[in-house]
Amino acid sequence: MKIVCPYTRLQWATELTLRIEEVNTRFVYTGNSDTAYYDLVRELWSQGETFIVVEHDIVIWPGALRVTWECPHPLCVYYAPGPVGVIGLGCVKYGKDLISSFPSHLDNIDPSQRSWRMLDKSLTWDLINKGISFHNHEPMVSHLNPDRYFFEMITKGE
Ligand SMILES: [Zn+2]
């Protein structure tokens, strides 16, 4: 499986679970510039092969990546809990058929939208506007940071 984990602060539980699931997981530091994450995805896109991106604080359950890797849908996601009342994308599979259908997708992202702060929208959500839908896999994967956030909320409230 071609698994990539872009990180600025890689969580040890994320690293451990990914190394167990796919020993050749590629961990890529993306803290050097605002567009390092974009550059990475653009490189992956240009290779034309299916790949899965797992964020640096996501902990997947055993077998989760294999399920999406083998799924025939072009765009597979696991949601993860986000800040209170919000869910985010924890893990996304970009299938090779999707990439070949939109070979210029990354080139077409406006330079002003290439920062990691805004990339989610252009990279994934804009595909929805092009008629692609997320294939949602369940159960959700785990997200370390919001858990900590909730924990703080609970303890402060007591
Ligand atoms: Zn799927």
The pLDDT assigned to 158 comes to 42
CA-nearest of 52, 6, 51, 53 to 27 is 6
Mark out the alpha helices in 2-143 (DSSP H runs): 12-21, 36-47, 64-70, 96-101, 119-120, 126-129
| Interval between CA 74 and ligand 1 midpoint (Å) | 7
| Interval between CA 105 and ligand 1 midpoint (Å) | 20
Maximum alpha-carbon separation in the chain: 53
The pLDDT assigned to 157 comes to 46
Under DSSP, the state recorded for 43 is H
How many percent of the chain have pLDDT more than 90?
69
| Interval between CA 98 and ligand 1 midpoint (Å) | 12
The pLDDT assigned to 146 comes to 53
| Interval between CA 127 and ligand 1 midpoint (Å) | 15
Residue 28 identity: V
The most confident of 35-49, 70-84, 134-148, by mean pLDDT: 35-49
The mean-pLDDT minimum among 26-40, 114-128, 136-150 falls in: 136-150
pTM, two decimals, is: 0.89
Q: Is the model's pLDDT at 136 over the cut of 70? A: yes
| Interval between CA 55 and ligand 1 midpoint (Å) | 18
Parallel, antiparallel or unpaired: strands 26-29 and 3-7:
parallel
| Interval between CA 93 and ligand 1 midpoint (Å) | 8
Distance CA 140, CA 145 (A): 15
| Interval between CA 111 and ligand 1 midpoint (Å) | 30
Computed over every residue of the chain, the mean pLDDT equals 89
The pLDDT assigned to 72 comes to 97
